[in-house]
Amino acid sequence: MSTLAPLVLLLPLAGFLVNALFGRLLPRRVVAWVGAGSVGASFLVVLAIFGQVLGGQRLDQTYWSWWSTGDFSVPFNLYIDPLSTLMMLVITGVGFLIHAYSIGYMADDPGYSRFFAEMNLFVLSMLLLVTSGNFVWLIVGWAGVGLCSYLLIGFWYERTSAVLAARKAFVMNVIGDVGMVFGAFVIFLNLRALDYGTIFARLHQLPRGGTVITAICLLLLVGAIAKSAQLPLHTWLPDAMEGPTPVSALIHAATMVTAGVYLVARMHLLYDWAPTAAAVVAVIGALTAFFAATIGTVQVDIKRILAYSTMSQIGYMFLAVGIGAYAAGMFHFMTHAFFKALLFLAAGNVIHAFRDDQDIRHMGFLRRGLPITFWTFLIGTLSISGAPLLAGFWSKDEIIRSALTGTNTLTVALGVLALITAGLTAFYMFRLFFTAFGWEWLAHDERHLHEAARVQTVPVMVLAVFSVIGGYFAVGSFLNPVFGEARQIGAGAQIGIGLVAVVTALAGFLLAYQLYARRPALAPAIQARLRPVHTLLWRKYFIDELYDRIFVRPGYALGAFLSGVFEPRVLDGLAAGVVSFVQLVAGDWRTWETGRVRRYALWTLGGAGVIAGYFAWVLLVARSAP
Amino acid sequence: MIDTSRLGIDYGVLLPELVVTATALLVLVLDLLIPPGRRRWLAAVSALGLLLALLATVPLWGADRSAFSGTVIGDSFAAFFDVILLSTGLLTVLISPRFLRSLGLEYGEYYVLTLAAMAGMMLLAAATSLMTIFLGIELLSIALYVLAGFARRNLRSQESALKYLLLGGFASGFLLYGMALIYGATGATTLHGIAQFVGASGSSVLLLVGIGFLVVGLAFKASAAPFHMWTPDVYQGAPTVVTTFMSVATKAAAFAVIGRVFVAAFPTIRADWYFPLAFVAIVSLGIGNFVAITQSNLKRLLAYSGIAQAGYILLGILPGSSEGLAASLFYVAAYAVMNFGAFAVVTAVETRVGEGGTEIPAWTGLFYRQPLLATTMTVFMLSLAGIPPTVGFFAKLFVFRPLVEAQLWAPLAVAIVTTVISFYYYLRVVVVMLTAPEEAGRPAREPVSRVMGAILVFCSIATIVLGVFPTVVFDWARTAAALHL
Amino acid sequence: MLSDYFPLLIFLGAVVLFGLLALFLPAFLAGSRQSAAKDLPYECGIVPRSTARRRFSVSFYLTAMLFIIFDVEAIFIYPWAVILHGLRWFGIAEMGIFVAILLVALAYIWKKGALEWGS
């Protein structure tokens, strides 16, 4: 295993290097083979590692010492256990399918090799993030993921909206990165280590629930919520739709947004040690799940709806890891990767068929035009909505169950919220399905609709299979060695809560069916009646506008103030003030050279004045004081 | 008969400086003899001389040879700076001919003055007396005043030289006055004598005022705020190769003095000099990083970035420990590589585009026209911003660490916050280069000269390799920082 | 320590005193008779033909500066000559190098035409 593990990283790295350096020179076929093949080969290696991990093997090996000074050293060590293995499986497996799909989807794009190079780098960063055994390399991967998302969201840099979206994602991610770095810094200050093994071993030196551990967990959480697009650092994710659709699939399903969940799960010993911080995680998760679902009910852009659904589903995972149901959270991460990748890739086919129109109100009659896409999308919709026996049902049900059977009122309340969200999920997903795939027909002629190429439909079908059977993988028992045995829940409660969840989802489905399939005229009427609510949701609770007012505009104003008023007036004024006394003594200083040079000299004198003032203070006040 | 051996005459200690000076004289004579069309050879002779001087630094490693009545010393510290300075000078001389020709400035004096400035800087690195320090500062300054105005027909260059001369004279006044006061307070001009006196008697009013003035004079040369005001105008106006040389080498030389004086001569009264240096560091970080955001000219942007970088280098001096000094030395080396590279790219672009080439809009879509320039520039920008795995990241990390250990939270907090702010303007350059130009159809690629290409690739590879294996240089820096007078 | 400088202070005082005396004593001892001729730039008799505030040829400054540089450097030779006997060949060699550098400078300004006047 110690030789296999680096291979997982080296393969995408090789793919990235080949495509980045020689991509322009190579024929497209080769670029595609290198891009998708490197990730596929990496997946095969991960499968081999998976077998060994099933056999009980673990790995925490140092390959190389990056640098060491004094007592402080940063090794490059890989940390392989069931948790990182699960992550690797999904990243490389789903990642490979998305890469394969991109071969067809991006076929006509001039930036073919750049696309595959950046996608490979994205996968590499994510793999580094989940296999690193210390915080330094975790942060390197973390920042790499942010960088790649910036590059890929802004892939079509000719579009102003894409560049703006990329910048927004970057800024939000940097806020998170700063939180991460500070978190790691506080850990190092208190535990004198940055590798996981030592941190976990020394964790008990800190008082349980104390300020330090809570601060650490909250700082790490800032990084996690930025990367996972949770409240209040979520606004970048819906805008990230500006990137090519496979990028959206990769960001939403296999990489990036799940990094936050992974971080909390990986640091679960820390969060167990800081119950307050864990509760914050759960609250943020449940609120985001509900909040995003409500916005999803009114949007009309197919990718935007899916983006809000991602936020909502990640919210479920945060809720799970926040209440200590780590295995349930990771289980949902896996099933979500299947059906969300499926939904995005299928949506990509739809968008291509409608020549890049993403408005669901302009779509329709897809069952005959794009039968494979139609049926696979339906499976994805059923799975995410929690239809019984499909993958999404099992994992979501487990989270809701863990919350509802929780020991304190907060957990139970969050569980109820999660249950309501499940109903909303079924509603907005079927609203999307009925509107886009249903019987409405507006602007397009049937004959122009064509199913996508084989290379695009096969990955979707594979994902559809996993969206059905994914719920039967025994993720919980696989992860037991990491998180410990899950809490046992009585069979009665299990069935009861399962039934309630199904009924809630069914209610959502029926409502969508009534409004968007049976009686389409009803929806606009209701929308008119509830105009304020609709506007609120349509404008996404005005959070973008709020941030613009609070942060962006004052930021620009501060910059303008500093360069326009502060520096010329105040600082120069200060310097001039110090100097005016000297001027008085020295007489007519103004004849001394031209205006600007004189002003520069005044600065120098002003600076000297500050230092002199300090010394005068030291000598006259500080030293004479007893 | 006078016993000359008592004078401590040891030419070996000054061998690198002597080689550089001799080369300068040789170039001066050659310039008179060869026809104007062959002036390229002067660059070759200068480069050869600098290479020889590099060789001459080898015996200084690990040595501890005080010479000329304790006014200069040959030690690892001097050798460390000599290597940085000589490498910078060497690369400068190599990229110069083509740029000078494009401006019609191919004169032999350019090389003579550059070599003279080099000699002054290297003397600073070896200086252990107030007199030799002043000598070195004046030698480098006067050569640079002329170099700044080297594009004689260009008004901006004239303005740059005049401003530099006037303000430099002003700062030299502070410096000299500070030295006089320190001499008055301690009765010694050698750092050894000063350290002995201060160690025995502590500080006094005269000494404090002297230190304050010394800080002003040295901070001016290092272009640290609030003594930085000349920097943007002079950097912008001077010919870009001169700016390249000046921004890296002058700063390195100034920090050689600051490091030696404060950590080695005044270790016992750190409480007294902490404030002036911390003040300068914090103001530099603030002003440099904030004002850089609003710049629209790349040379001005890099000037403000250089002011901020001076702040980071100063951070390592603040704890007054040899570990901190080692961090500063590492930063100087890192700064030399990445900042030289950044300015070299500006030089290359300006060689093609002409004077407007330093305005940021002219860089739009550079990535598609000159991928080599844009890629290497990206590396330098990321490194200056301190993003791993570049050397700039470790430079910052290493200077932050001693601050943590000395519990100097205020400078550390300022440094971290301003570092985050600095991402904005460094990455803006990258984004501009990546933005496709508005006119349809990508312009044909223009080749970069082979020498320039090789130097840029060398600098960017060094930036990354030192970011992956920082310990090599850091160990050298540690050896160099283990000072004794 | 500072008391070491006391003689210097006395010296300084004496200098100031002497200067003031030289300035004010004549006012008491000698008479004062104003006339237009006394306000001329050269009291010794040369009659100025035009204003002195005009531009001089830059060559004048160049020559003046070159003179000062070589003049100041020549001063080094005096103390050297005093102890040359003790320094022997070492002193000869050192001064040889010094003069050689001066010669390079001289050759440079000569060749560059800095010694030509007005051409």
Asked if B25 lies within 8 A of C83 by C-beta distance, the reply is: no
Task: Fill in the amino acid letter for C54.
Answer: R
Whether A601 has its CB under 8 Å from any CB of chain B: the answer is: yes
Q: Which of residues 56-115 of C touch B (CB under 8 A)?
A: 83, 86-88, 90, 101, 104, 107-108, 111
* Beta bridge pairs of residue A76: A64
More confident residue, B476 or A566: B476
Any chains having at least 3 CB pairs less than 8 A from chain C are B
Name the token pair of B269. 């009264």
Asked if residues C117 and C59 have their Cβ atoms less than 8 Å apart, the reply is yes
Residue A463 has pLDDT above 60, yes or no: yes
Sign for the CA dihedral angle at A185, A191, A193, A198 comes to negative
* Backbone phi, psi, residue A69, to 5°: -135, 125
Measured between alpha carbons, how far is C20 from B173 in angstroms, rounded to an integer?
Answer: 29
Residue-level pLDDT at B446: 61
Q: Name the least confident of A352-361, A551-560, B149-158.
A: A551-560
Residue B475 CA, chain-centre distance (Å), reads: 21
Structure tokens at B437: 């130009």
Query: How would DSSP label each residue in B257-324?
Result: HHIIIIIIISGGGHHHHHHHHHHHHHHHHHHHHHHHHT--BHHHHHHHHHHHHHHHHHHHHTT-SHHH
Ramachandran assignment for B2, one of left (phi > 0), alpha (psi -120 to 50 degrees), beta (any other): beta
Q: Distance (Å, rounded) from C-alpha A124 to C-alpha A139?
A: 13
Helix, strand, coil fractions of chain A, as percent rounded to 5: 80, 5, 20
Flag whether pLDDT at C1 surpasses 90.
no
On whether the CB atoms of residues A437 and A516 are closer than 8 A, the answer is no
Interior angle at CA B262, CA B260 and CA B263, nearest 5: 70
The reply to whether C1 touches chain B by the CB within 8 Å rule is yes
Mean pLDDT by 10 residues, chain B (485 residues): 72 93 94 86 94 93 87 92 95 91 89 96 94 94 94 88 90 93 91 90 86 92 87 90 94 93 85 89 89 84 93 92 91 95 92 81 83 90 88 90 87 88 84 69 64 92 89 88 72
Q: Please state, in angstroms and rounded to a whole number, the distance separating the CA atoms of residues A415 and A402.
A: 8
Query: pLDDT by residue (tens digit) across A464-483?
Result: 888 888 777 777 777 777 77
Contact B227 A604 (CB under 8 A): yes
Cα C98 to chain center, whole Å?
22
Q: Are B280 and B318 in contact (CB under 8 A)?
A: no
Q: A356 — alpha (psi -120 to 50), left (phi > 0) or beta?
A: left
Q: Which residue of C has its CA nearest to B184?
A: C2
Cβ under 8 Å to C: B residues 279-338: none
Q: Hey, is A454 helix, strand or coil?
A: helix
Q: In residues, how long is chain A?
A: 626
Contact of A332 with A398, CB cutoff 8 Å: yes
Inspect the interface and report whether the beta carbons of B216 and A611 lie closer than 8 Å. yes
Q: Which residue has the higher pLDDT, B306 or A545?
A: B306
Cα angle A170-A172-A175, degrees, rounded to a multiple of 5: 105
Q: What is the pLDDT of residue A38?
A: 87
Provide the pLDDT for residue A325: 83
DSSP-based three-state secondary structure for A530: coil
Q: What percent of chain A has pLDDT over 70?
A: 82
Q: What is the 3-state secondary structure (H, E, C) of chain C?
A: CHHHHHHHHHHHHHHHHHHHHHHHHHHHHCCCCCCHHHHCCCCCCCCCCCCCCCCCCHHHHHHHHHHHHHHHHHHCHHHHHHHHHHHHHHHHHHHHHHHHHHHHHHHHHHHCCCCCCCC
Q: Using CA atoms in the order A316, A322, A326, A332, what is the torsion angle rounded to 10 degrees?
A: 10
Task: Measure the CA–CA gap between B93 and B91, rounded to whole angstroms.
Answer: 5
Task: Give the number of other Cβ atoms within 10 Å of residue A196's Cβ.
Answer: 20
Q: Is the dihedral of CA A225, A230, A234, A236 positive or negative?
A: positive
For the stretch A298-337, pLDDT in tens is 777 888 888 888 888 888 888 888 888 888 888 888 888 8
Q: Does B465 touch chain A (CB under 8 A)?
A: no
Please give the full DSSP string across A375-428, using - where no structure is assigned. Answer: HHHHHHHHHHHT-TTSHHHHHHHHHHHHHHT-SSHHHHHHHHHHHHHHHHHHHH
Q: What residue of C is the nearest CA neighbor of B26?
A: C104
The whole-angstrom distance between B53's CA and the closest CA on chain A is: 31
Bigger pLDDT: A591 or A116? A116
Q: State the pLDDT confidence band at A581, using cuts at 50, 70 and 90.
A: very low
A405 CB neighbour count, 10 Å cutoff: 17
Measured distance CA(A419)–CA(A501) in Å, rounded: 6
For residue B433, which amino acid is it? M
Judge whether A65 and A73 are in contact, CB under 8 Å: yes
Per-residue pLDDT, A19:
79
Instruction: Give φ, ψ of A621 to 5 degrees.
Output: -100, -60
How far is Cα A435 from Cα A63, in angstroms, rounded to an integer?
54
| pLDDT exceeds cutoff 90 at A418 | no
Give the one of C83, C90, C104 whose C-beta lies nearest to B25's C-beta: C104
pLDDT of residue A573: 57
The values of phi and psi at residue A444, to 5°, are: -115, 150
Residues in B touching C1 (Cβ below 8 Å): 187
For residues B337, B339, B340, B344, the Cα torsion angle rounded to the nearest 10 degrees is 130
Both tokens assigned to A479: 């992860």
Interface membership of B205 toward C (CB under 8 Å): no
Asked whether the beta carbons of B259 and B325 are under 8 A apart, the reply is yes
Once rounded to an integer, what is the mean pLDDT over residues A429-456? 67
Q: Do the Cβ atoms of B227 and B168 come closer than 8 Å?
A: no
Q: Please judge whether B1 and C88 are an interchain contact, meaning their C-beta atoms are less than 8 angstroms apart.
A: yes
Crossing angle of helices B15-33/B76-103, nearest 10°?
Answer: 20
Residues 6+ apart with CB under 8 A from B402: B316, B318, B319, B321, B323, B324, B327
Which residues does chain B have within 8 Å of residue C90's beta carbon, measured at their own beta carbons? 4
Residues β-bridged to residue A531 = none
Identify the bridge partners of residue A60 per DSSP, sorted by sequence position. A79
> Which pLDDT value is given to residue A292?
84
Structure tokens at A85: 């293995």
Question: Where are the alpha helices (H) located in B391-447, listed in sequence order?
Answer: 391-405, 409-434
Q: Above 70 in pLDDT, residue A514?
A: yes
For residue B129, what are the β-bridge partners? B190
User: CA torsion sign, A345 to A347 to A352 to A357?
Assistant: negative
- Within 10 Å of residue A540's Cβ, how many Cβ atoms? 20
pTM above 0.80, yes or no: no
| Peptide bond connecting A232 to the previous residue in cis, omega within 30 degrees of 0 | yes
pLDDT the model gives residue C106: 87
